[in-house]
Structure 1
Amino acid sequence: MPGQVGAFSNEREGLLAYLAQMRYVLRLTAYGLTPEQLRAAPTASPLTIGGLIKHCASTEASWIDTVRREPRPVDYQAYADNFRLADGESIEDVLAHYERVAERTEKTIAEIADLGQDVPVDHSVPWNPKDIDNWSVRWVLLHLIQETARHAGHADIIREAVDGGTAYPIMAAAENWPDSPWMQKWQPSGEQRG
């Protein structure tokens, strides 16, 4: 996937394209890391790259459940646990789950005729406003883009603290872009350029 969202012909396509792009750049922060590095919290925050990817997958799944009017009760312990990889949980499992979540999102949104369709506000959680009763599907998609982008930024900072890797060199390595005088592909520490 390129570093920028391509052209799109309508609002629905654009919202889904930007959400897909944010998922992609978040997933890239895990590229080439060891299981230990995926669990590392090298900043003042307890956040980890693996945990952020897991959280974004869980959050998107929950919002799509709400759009489909199949909401699950909020389990605050599960919410806290989805910010870290569990013992024995691999990044491959988390990324496969995230892919299934993305496919379900795409399918759900394709089945909705009007992006203005009401989505009920969950008043049981403290972060939702009490003075409105409904979001729209459009609002949910914009929120998912915002949520994923925010956490992709967190993951970028963590990644740089883990091994010095930054977004475009990592993308260049993942997509095998040719090296240029102004950008070289990320390589694991200790590897020499040939």
Structure 2
Amino acid sequence: MPVFVDPRPDERGQLLAFLAGQCASLRATIAGLDAAQLRARPTGSAMQLGALVKHVALDERRWVVAAVGGRPEGLWPVEDPRAEWTLEEGDDVASLGALLDAVGEETERVVAAVEDLGAPCPMPGVGHWSVRWVLLHLLEENARHCGHADLLREQLDGATAAQLGS
């Protein structure tokens, strides 16, 4: 995993590259874990590493598809905030990685279709946020959660995303 995201020639590409970098960090933190480790609570927090990764992916999907893409059906408002923090029976490293990939691809498609990053989000009630604001908000949230993920992984086996991704 590179220390720095490669520079891109435009703002849109750079924002998407930074989001992809956060995704790569999350993917690294769950690499090689078994089901018990994904569900473990290795700190005083109730947070599970697998559930954290699931939350990040579903949160990004909600913001991008609903707010930026203007398709809130089933995504906004959040009916049960705890649901995306709950691991299902089949949730494992492979399925969580596939979810991260699918969301990243969806983010790229939706953002590519936006003409102006400064445009207001098309979803009713959120026009005070621009597409740029949503992408920056996601970077802030995802980076915060990548830090959480790194600490949880380190508590599980001493590894960090930087070590695992290199």
Counting only pairs closer than 5 Å after superposition, residues 21-170 of structure 1 correspond to structure 2 as 21-65=21-65, 66-71=67-72, 72-77=75-80, 79-119=81-121, 133-170=127-164
Q: How far apart, in 2, do the equivalents of 1:122 and 1:137 lie?
A: 14
**Number of residue pairs the alignment of both structures matches:** 163
Task: Using structure 1 for the length normalisation, give the TM-score.
Answer: 0.78
User: Aligned to 2:100, what secondary structure does the other structure show?
Assistant: helix
- 1:39 touches 1:84 (CA, 8 Å); kept in 2? no
Read off the aligned partner of 1:43 and give its amino acid letter: T
Compute the RMSD of aligned alpha carbons.
1.8
- Residue in 2 that maps onto 1:179: none
Consecutive unaligned residues in structure 1, runs of 5 or more: 124-131, 173-194
User: Aligned to 2:47, what secondary structure does the other structure show?
Assistant: coil
Higher RCO (C-alpha 8 Å, min separation 6): 2
- 1:39 touches 1:49 (CA, 8 Å); kept in 2? yes
Runs of 4+ in 1 over 2 A off after TM superposition: 72-77, 87-91, 120-123
Counting only pairs closer than 5 Å after superposition, residues 12-27 of structure 1 correspond to structure 2 as 12-27=12-27
1:90-135 CA-to-partner distances (Å, cap 9, x unmatched) read: 2311221221111111011111110011016776xxxxxxxx8510
- 2:42 touches 2:155 (CA, 8 Å); kept in 1? yes
Q: How far apart, in 1, do the equivalents of 2:127 and 2:7 lie?
A: 34
- Give 1 or 2 for the bigger CA radius of gyration: 1
Q: Percent identity?
A: 41
Q: How far apart, in 2, do the equivalents of 1:148 and 1:73 lie?
A: 19
Task: Using structure 2 for the length normalisation, give the TM-score.
Answer: 0.90
Give, in angstroms, the shift of residue 75 of structure 1. Answer: 3.4
